[in-house]
Amino acid sequence: MPKNIIIDTDPGIDDALAIMLAAASPEVRILGMTAVAGNTGLEHTAPNLAKIADLLGLDVPLGRGAIRPLWRRDTVPDANVHGADGLGGYALPDSQRTLEPAVPLLARLVEESDQPVTIVAIGPVTNIALFINEYPETARKVERIVIMGGGARDVLGNATPTAEFNIYYDPDAAAAMFDFGVPITMIGLDVTHKALVGSAHLAGLYASGGPIATMVEAITGHYGEAAYSGNDLDDAVAQHDSLAIAAAFLPDIVTTEHLFVDVENVGRLTSGMTVVDFAGRTGNAPNCDVALDVDTERFVTLLADRLTQLDATLKERA
């Protein structure tokens, strides 16, 4: 039985690969996808989501979500990483799709689902916090929220020394989500920085030469140059969001500990830090399965194989 998922996203170069992975994986059924501001403004992330859905032939409802964090106005993305348009300048055809309001869509999809629903949040969690606030009883029906976000021990931050970007961008929304009570899996920088994928791993995909191969080669090239050049694995870059998607249907691809997590949202130097209570010093009950290790080879092989299969499928449909 495929796992019902909703993807909340700020596409976004690694978001695009993550949505491709989900579309290529029979283990999941995408009920819908919602866009949020993050990697770049909603004026780009929302149409990017529609364009990616068109490319993949995903006939699912799409939502247009939060244009900015709940309250913060000082958190801004590094426009170099994903480009001003969010996809490193890669030109996909404009979409004719209409996006509906994201938060009512989240509520409708959860209420209408005949199976438990997992939300995979791979951008700032502003939409999730709004959903929790406006539809608390429906939100409690969500089986699990798998986030790409945070840092626990080995790698704390990429937006600041102590904060990962998705949490940094809207720390108040993240604090509300961790406080709400729905089970959370945190796929943070500790594991995504081990999930490095480069052209050496994607040679089979690139040789396939179809629409996925062309787009992935182009956008990961931009991503690598902008944010991750100098890895010891030549052009390998962290495919943060794809690991969150993989963990949603292959939970044992990561090793987790059940711990209490809260988010610093007022610190002068530490705002956006996911504070992980390894020693139980707060006395608070654990609220999160924190990923601390990853089966890197299994993940890289999964991503490369699924994208290659997807490329072949779309070539046949063309």
Give residues in contact with Ca ion (CB under 5 A).
Answer: 10, 12, 15, 122-123, 241
148, β-bridge pairs: 187
* Smallest gap from residue 121 Cβ to Ca ion (A): 9
222/88 Cα distance (integer angstroms)? 6
Q: Which is nearer to ligand RIB, 135 or 165 (CB)?
A: 165
The CA distances from residue 102 to 37, 118, 119, 134, in Å, are 12, 16, 13, 12
Q: Which residue is nearest to ligand RIB (CB)?
A: 165
* b/e sequence 148-164, b meaning 16+ C-beta within 10 Å: bbbbbeebbbbbbebbb
Residue 264, contacted partner among ligand RIB, Ca ion, none, CB below 5-8 A by kind: none
Which residue in 187, 205, 68 sits closest to 127, CA to CA?
Answer: 68
DSSP code for 235: T
Residue 158, contacted partner among ligand RIB, Ca ion, none, CB below 5-8 A by kind: ligand RIB
Which residue in 299, 296, 307, 86 sits closest to 206, CA to CA?
Answer: 307
Q: CB under 8 Å to 77, separation ≥6 — which residues?
A: 38, 39, 40, 165, 169
Neighbours of 183 (CB within 10 A): 14
Q: Which is nearer to ligand RIB, 145 or 208 (CB)?
A: 145
240 is catalytic: yes
What does the radius of gyration of the chain's CA atoms come to, in whole angstroms?
18
Q: Are 67 and 41 in contact (CB under 8 A)?
A: yes
Catalytic choice (201, 222, 240, 258) = 240
Residue 83, contacted partner among ligand RIB, Ca ion, none, CB below 5-8 A by kind: none
Residue 72, contacted partner among ligand RIB, Ca ion, none, CB below 5-8 A by kind: none
Q: Which is nearer to ligand RIB, 81 or 135 (CB)?
A: 81
318/309 Cα distance (integer angstroms)? 14
15/12 Cα distance (integer angstroms)? 5
Q: Which is nearer to ligand RIB, 122 or 290 (CB)?
A: 122
* Smallest gap from residue 207 Cβ to ligand RIB (A): 27
Q: Which is nearer to ligand RIB, 135 or 178 (CB)?
A: 178
Q: Which is nearer to Ca ion, 164 or 241 (CB)?
A: 241
* Smallest gap from residue 217 Cβ to ligand RIB (A): 18
43/48 Cα distance (integer angstroms)? 9
* Smallest gap from residue 315 Cβ to ligand RIB (A): 27
Helix (H) or strand (E) segment spanning residue 81: helix 79-82
Residue 164, contacted partner among ligand RIB, Ca ion, none, CB below 5-8 A by kind: ligand RIB
* Smallest gap from residue 35 Cβ to ligand RIB (A): 12
> How many CA atoms lie less than 13 Å away from 300 in the CB half-sphere?
20
* Smallest gap from residue 240 Cβ to ligand RIB (A): 4
Would you tell me which residues interact with ligand RIB (CB under 6 A)?
10, 12, 14-15, 38-39, 122-123, 148, 158, 164-166, 240-241
Residue 295, contacted partner among ligand RIB, Ca ion, none, CB below 5-8 A by kind: none
Catalytic positions: 240
